[in-house]
Amino acid sequence: MEALFSVCSNSLFSSLQNHKNKTLLPFLTSDSRLSSSQLKSQSRVSLKSHDFHDFPPLVASRRRVLKCRSSNEQLETSFDESESLKNGVRRKNLAVFVSGGGSNFRAVHQAILSGDVHGRFVVLVTNKHDCGGAQYARENGIPVIIYPSTKKEPEGLSSNDLVAALSTYKIDFILLAGYLKLIPSELIRAYPNSILNIHPSLLPAFGGKGYYGTKVHKAVIASGARRYSGPTIHFVDENYDTGRILAQRIVPVVVNDTAEELAARVLRQEHKMYAEVAAAICEERVIWREDGVPIIRSKADPEHYS
Ligand code: GRF
């Protein structure tokens, strides 16, 4: 199958960056895992972890090889999956979607580097190739994919090509971290219960179309009805900010707050919460309650959920 997409990364694909024709043919060595659609079961169970045990046991020394070929050159990179089991749990492959500075992405990446999150960012998707998040990704050897295709970003992918490109990275979870474009339904269907978004208010309040960035915090302050705000992490469905809520943190709204002050206070909590939630999903501690509400099992006390 030939998938058409553009990939840029300083360390992995730097020699491709100035090519006008960015037609690449990505492929992975054969892998014994099930396809992503087989793995992403929608079934919900009572207090039962995600069905990651569907994965065949990881061979400790397995080496994944990613080859990318353009018209006149062939590049190869690989990452060693040895020692990727921690307490019997496989290290998870994460994709992140970013449109701006990417401070949440950086916070989770730092938590990975410090060993607090048993995952790895294998690709970043952005609608702005030169945004701060994309620059940070390239500096850290993380491939960058542009989506969608627009006049400003003509090399962006179509929705189907995005899904095809992501499938080559064997993504377990997608983290949206300040990505301002709509997520295509093709992607949501390909990754059920596996895409998370962070929103800077206590959903369902101050969410939905038009509520983004400072607008959220201005609306919170203007409402006068709220003494508290705070970030929400939720699973992504086909509408804005309506997916199942996974985690929230409370942040006080101070009487004389400006939107910027409130945003900064909320953002500090976002960074902590996204790292904690990323740790939970990577350690398979997200449980689906019978009524469809996702909850997180505490690492310190497995009898406790939040
Ligand atoms: C955050 O406030 C997040 O809640 C919202 O977009 C912002 C992204 O900020 N979805 P950053 O790019 O992670 O700094």
The confidence score (pLDDT) of residue 188 equals: 97
Q: Do 255 and 165 belong together in one domain?
A: no
Does residue 224 form part of some domain? yes
Euclidean distance between CA atoms 259 and 267, whole angstroms: 12
Q: From the candidates 50, 109, 118, 199, which is the catalytic residue?
A: 199
Q: Do 151 and 210 belong together in one domain?
A: no
Does residue 180 form part of some domain? yes
Q: Do 36 and 178 belong together in one domain?
A: yes
Q: Do 165 and 292 belong together in one domain?
A: no
Please determine, for residue 75, whether its predicted confidence score (pLDDT) is greater than 50. no
pLDDT cut 70: percent of the chain above it:
72
In b/e form, how buried is each residue of 283-296, taking b as 16+ CB within 10 angstroms? bbbbbbeeeeebeb
The confidence score (pLDDT) of residue 226 equals: 66
Look up residue 220 and give its DSSP letter: H
With a CB cutoff of 8 Å and minimum separation 6, the contacts of 276 are 247
* Ligand 1 pocket residue status of 198, Cβ below 6 Å: yes
Instruction: Please confirm, yes or no, whether 304 is among the known catalytic residues.
Output: no
* Ligand 1 pocket residue status of 199, Cβ below 6 Å: yes
Please determine, for residue 172, whether its predicted confidence score (pLDDT) is greater than 60. yes
In three-state form (DSSP H/G/I as H, E/B as E, the rest C), the secondary structure along 93-132 is EEEEEECCCCHHHHHHHHHHHCCCCCEEEEEEEECCCCCH
Q: Which domain holds residue 109?
A: 32-192
Cα–ligand 1 centroid distance for 178 (angstroms): 4
Count of positions (residues) in the chain = 306
**Mean per-residue pLDDT of the chain:** 79
* Ligand 1 pocket residue status of 103, Cβ below 6 Å: yes
Q: Output the residue whose Cα is nearest ligand 1's atom 8.
A: 178
Does residue 239 form part of some domain? no
Read off the pTM.
Answer: 0.76
In the chain, the number of structural domains is 2
φ and ψ at residue 273, rounded to 5 degrees: -70, -40
Helix H or strand E segment including 176:
strand 173-176
Question: Token pair for residue 185?
Answer: 């339904």
Cα–ligand 1 centroid distance for 100 (angstroms): 8
Q: Do 136 and 207 belong together in one domain?
A: no
Does residue 260 form part of some domain? yes
Euclidean distance between CA atoms 170 and 121, whole angstroms: 11
Q: Do 54 and 153 belong together in one domain?
A: yes
CATH number at residue 173: 3.40.50
Range with the lowest mean pLDDT among 4-8, 29-33, 61-65, 130-134?
A: 29-33
- From residue 54, give the alpha-carbon distance in Å to each of 36, 58, 146, 216: 11, 11, 31, 40
Q: Output the residue whose Cα is nearest ligand 1's atom 6.
A: 178
Q: Do 170 and 255 belong together in one domain?
A: no
